[in-house]
Structure 1
Amino acid sequence: MRWRGRRGSANIEDRRGRRGGGKAAVGGIGGFGLIAVLLIGWFFGIDVTPFLSGGGGGFQTSAPAGESRPLSEAERQEGQFVSVVLADTEEVWAEIFREQVGQPYDPATLVLFSQVTQSPCGGASGATGPFYCPADEKAYLDTAFFTTLERQLGARGDFAAAYVVAHEIAHHVQNELGILSQANAIRAQSSTEQSNAISVRIELQADCYSGIWARYAQARFGAIEPGDLEEAVNAAREIGDDTLQREAGRVPRPHTFTHGTSEQRARWFMTGYQTGDMTACDTFSADRL
């Protein structure tokens, strides 16, 4: 991906230099954060009990609150990269909203953190993975996830990382359009299996919107290099529910899927890229996912 030397976004809240951001509330992780905790814990064998148990307590990081540390060179590079990708999403979605929605786009803030942070959707750690919190309209990302993406999930390349950012911003797009609130309201009144099925449609639409972003980013900035699309599609495949469950030594159970299969995630990303049309991303009306 061609990103060096290009404009970065001002909508970055970088918490990575803060070590030990105080206590994060337990029992408060909601929405996609909760899903992410359960999935990451299940697939990688991480004990997620501290994030889910109630009782009004909290968990404390190893360093005292208020301590800071210098960012490593790798972290600085990751921060610059994310800032450029975020800036691209802002310009692209502003254009798309003018052309296809007929209203202005209000960009999200992206919070970078290390190990642990807090959000209105609850406490988060690196184990939760990237997530979007509609309560404060912010996306949250521990940049160490890029290493996990490459080394543990087999999704290599800078455009794979860009796809992760674009996917979370796509949830903000859904929030701006009122899709996310409507879908979550229905999920709250549904059975677990029905809620999971709605979650899959939410996530696949975000994949499709990510594909639209990639198409516009190429046309507007010439950002995509040979092999970039393959990196994004590979990332989508590597984080499909069926693939993750197999790699965890489990038989895939479709009724537990919350993000979609590898084939579905890759196909909906390409649907967005090939059409550039938001109406083509209506996963909620699709008979076949």
Structure 2
Amino acid sequence: MKWEDNRRSSNIEDRRDETQSFGSRTNAGSILSLLPIIKTLLGTTIGRVILVIGVVLYFGFGINPLAFLEGGHTTQTSEQKVINKQQDDKQAVFVSVVLAQTEDIWKEVLKKNGLKYSDAKLVLFRGGVKSSCGFASSQVGPFYCPIDKKVYLDLSFFDELAKKYKAPGEFAQAYVVAHEIGHHVQNLLGILNKIQAEKQALSTKEQNALQVKVELQADCYAGIWAYYSKTKFGSIEEGDLEAGLRAASAIGDDTLQKQAQGYVVPDSFTHGSSKDRMEALKKGFYSGDLKTCSIN
């Protein structure tokens, strides 16, 4: 991709240097060793109040109260990743450029359709993050919170995309950002609220099928971004679309399920098959038209 000379978005919240206790949960051994204390606390009114406060601290604020009982530290459940700050900062700049493109593109696309676009914020974090939708660790991957209208991204996901999912390259990374912004567009258009309301009367199987449509539409919206990124900004180069399609294929529900458990359960899909995700991305890319991405 060609992006270095393009505008950077000012809608980046950089929280990479903030310390979060998510990902540093106390292990099972530590909890078992504290069971006698917990039982004692349960036996008194004050003790139960203390336990309630502990639960609020843990789930509401991400503070591990056991750290105070264990000498002010928590047991790490995974090794600390060594971060190449120069590479990390370059990726942060790249993300801000992609975000800026989505802002310019969606303002133009929605205006053509008689609609108005308002910018989303993109939060960069490491390990874990607190959003208006709750706490999340980096293990959940990039996500969009419709409550605060923010995209959350741990840049380490790009390494995972390249190494674990075999989908390297800047276009694959940009596709991830564009997909999450696609959810923001859905939120602005009232699609997310409508789908959420429809889910209330459905079975789990039917809810999953509806969620797949939401995710495939976000993929299609990512394709619209790619269309304009090529025609408006000249950022898309030969081979970039193929890289995006590899990423879409690598994170298809069928591919992930087969890798994890050796078999596929279509009724449990929530994002779509590899084939469907690739088709959705291509549909947006070759049309550049909002109407081609309709869920209905």
Please report the TM-score for the alignment, with normalisation by the length of structure 1: 0.82
Q: Could you tell me how far apart the structure 1 residues matched to 2:280 and 2:157 are?
A: 23
Q: Could you tell me how far apart the structure 2 residues matched to 1:87 and 1:205 are?
A: 21
Question: Which range is displaced more, 125-134 or 179-188?
Answer: 179-188
Tell me, yes or no, if structure 1 residue 81 matches structure 2 residue 94. yes
Q: CA RMSD in A?
A: 2.2
Q: Could you report, residue by residue, the CA deviation over 1:229-253 in whole angstroms, capped at 9, with x for unpaired residues?
A: 0011110000000000111133110
**Aligned pairs (5 A) from 1:1-289:** 1-18=1-18, 20-21=19-20, 56=56, 57-58=58-59, 59-60=62-63, 72-100=85-113, 102-283=114-295, 285=296
Superposed structure 1 runs of 4+ greater than 3 Å apart = 21-24, 55-64
Q: Which amino acid aligns with 2:86?
A: E
Q: CA deviation at 1:22?
A: 5.5
Gaps of 5+ in 2: 26-54, 74-82
Q: Could you tell me how far apart the structure 1 residues matched to 2:199 and 2:164 are?
A: 31
Q: Which amino acid aligns with 1:155?
A: A
Q: Could you report, residue by residue, the CA deviation over 1:259-283 in whole angstroms, capped at 9, with x for unpaired residues?
A: 0000000001101111111111113
Q: CA deviation at 1:188?
A: 3.3
Q: Could you report, residue by residue, the CA deviation over 1:105-160 in whole angstroms, capped at 9, with x for unpaired residues?
A: 10100011000110111101111100000000001101100001010011111100
Q: How many residues align?
A: 249
Q: Could you tell me how far apart the structure 1 residues matched to 2:266 and 2:219 are?
A: 19
User: The residue matched to 2:227 in structure 1 has which SS?
Assistant: helix
Q: Could you report, residue by residue, the CA deviation over 1:2-47 in whole angstroms, capped at 9, with x for unpaired residues?
A: 11132100000010011x23679x9xxxxxxxxxxxxxxxxxxxxx
Please report the TM-score for the alignment, with normalisation by the length of structure 2: 0.80
Q: Is residue 133–residue 147 contact of structure 2 (8 Å, CA) maintained in 1?
A: yes
Aligned position for 2:42: none
Q: Which amino acid aligns with 1:243?
A: T
Q: Could you tell me how far apart the structure 1 residues matched to 2:223 and 2:133 are?
A: 27
Q: Is residue 15–residue 111 contact of structure 1 (8 Å, CA) maintained in 2?
A: yes
Q: CA deviation at 1:217?
A: 1.1
CA gap 1:144/1:92 in 2 versus in 1, 3 angstroms? same
Q: Could you tell me how far apart the structure 2 residues matched to 1:179 and 1:103 are?
A: 14
User: The residue matched to 1:148 in structure 2 has which SS?
Assistant: helix
Q: What is the percent sequence identity of the aligned residues? A: 46
Q: Could you tell me how far apart the structure 1 residues matched to 2:177 and 2:223 are?
A: 12
Q: Is residue 167–residue 206 contact of structure 1 (8 Å, CA) maintained in 2?
A: yes
Q: Which amino acid aligns with 2:250?
A: E
Q: Could you tell me how far apart the structure 2 residues matched to 1:107 and 1:186 are?
A: 27
Q: Which amino acid aligns with 2:246?
A: N
Q: Is residue 22–residue 128 contact of structure 2 (8 Å, CA) maintained in 1?
A: no
Q: Could you tell me how far apart the structure 2 residues matched to 1:23 and 1:234 are?
A: 31
Q: Could you report, residue by residue, the CA deviation over 1:198-255 in whole angstroms, capped at 9, with x for unpaired residues?
A: 1100000000011011001111100001110001111000000000011113311000
Q: Which amino acid aligns with 2:94?
A: F
